[in-house]
Structure 1
Amino acid sequence: MKFNTKQDFRDAVREFTIQEGRRIKFVKNDNVRCRAVCQVEECSWVVYASRDHEDSCWQIKTFYDDHTCPRENSNRAANRAWLASKLVKKVRKYPNFKQCEAATYFKSKCDLILHRNSIARALADARNVVYGDEKTHYALLRDYAETLLKINPGSTVRIGVTLMPDGQVMFDKILDGAFLKTQIGGQILSAAAQDANHHIYVVAWAIVNIKNKEN
């Protein structure tokens, strides 16, 4: 088996050992060779790859796949970055993928028992990959408001914020009004706020003839 780079080989070894429920360590790791063994000294499992100078790839030269040690349901190789990379596809397919569902997924797929804090952090990282960082999104609200006013002259946009003790401001709500470009005309007014999870949602909307103090 061949790999384009040494890192590809290391990643494949880590993936394999996590699936197998074993802990390994790299005892040789330089520019021309890479060797991994089981962390249990009595176990004879080993994989060795070296660089093939003819086609500049890394090729497995030795692979003894016979663990004499027992399987484990925890593995330091299954770190936060690895967990998040696995959860990205789940979050894309199931936007409301929950922490308990993630725990069940890793238990059934890899027989891993993970701490809930580890899952929570990895799930948050996966959501940031899929949806972007929340702070970055909120920072774009003023640009969004300016764009609305530029595209729809005469519209009204108000962003409500809460002043924090440290002097920073936190988004509270946004009020938006825009002209309807239809035969009937009028304006559509909407009010949005954030919930306990800091997600924006529409509180109410209405269509009126004209925006005034009554509406």
Structure 2
Amino acid sequence: MVEQHTCVRNFRSANLMDPTWIARQFLKEMIRKPNLKCKEMQAIIQSRFHCKVSWSKCYRAKCRAISLIDGKLSDHYAKAIKEGWKVGCRRVIGLDESFLKGQCKCELLTAIGRDANNHVYPIAWAVVEIENKPNWQWFLELLHDDMELQGGLDLCVISDQHKGLLEAVKVVLPRVEHRQCARHVYANFRKVFSGIEFKNMFWTFAKSIVEGDFKFNMEKIKEVNPAAYDHLMAREP
């Protein structure tokens, strides 16, 4: 072994520093300071390793470091959502749709569950051209087969009053207990019976915990306006 060296290290060359290597060096810094800027990374590398790296290389390294810390998006989608709902969630599924306002002017169909802490648990979603019975039936058939819902046995579904959805649920989940969203029921109710008095009475009976309280509060509405009572009872409360 020749102990005396005459070669000099080239501190200007950073070819051996690829983004993956840099990302591993900055894992602790990224955990402490998630908003670390690429220019700061360049200064740290120059001070620590006496090498100059480009801004773009630091940017790629930062993205890889974030993926190592948070995990890749594909890993999140690969998690067993279906198994999690079966094991740790209530037998309740909320069905709804919303309009997409970006470049895609379609509609989003969603199936949402509730976990043991009463938090939102996404189950399934799909983008369709329009909300109607065929699209809801297609969505529910896939959901039924994948989640093994057994026709809705021991299952509760909550939705708005969209006619296509109501009909699709009857076809795909004939054994389900189908409840309607109180907010949507009230939106239709106040078109005919408006005013603060009807509003307070509606939410009083809507929040009734037991059947006895429900009947007692409904009798109050019947005394004030029998037509309002008949309107609500016709919605299978």
Question: Does TM, scored on the shorter chain, surpass 0.5?
Answer: no
Q: Which has the larger radius of gyration?
A: 2
Higher helix share: 2
TM-score (norm 1): 0.41
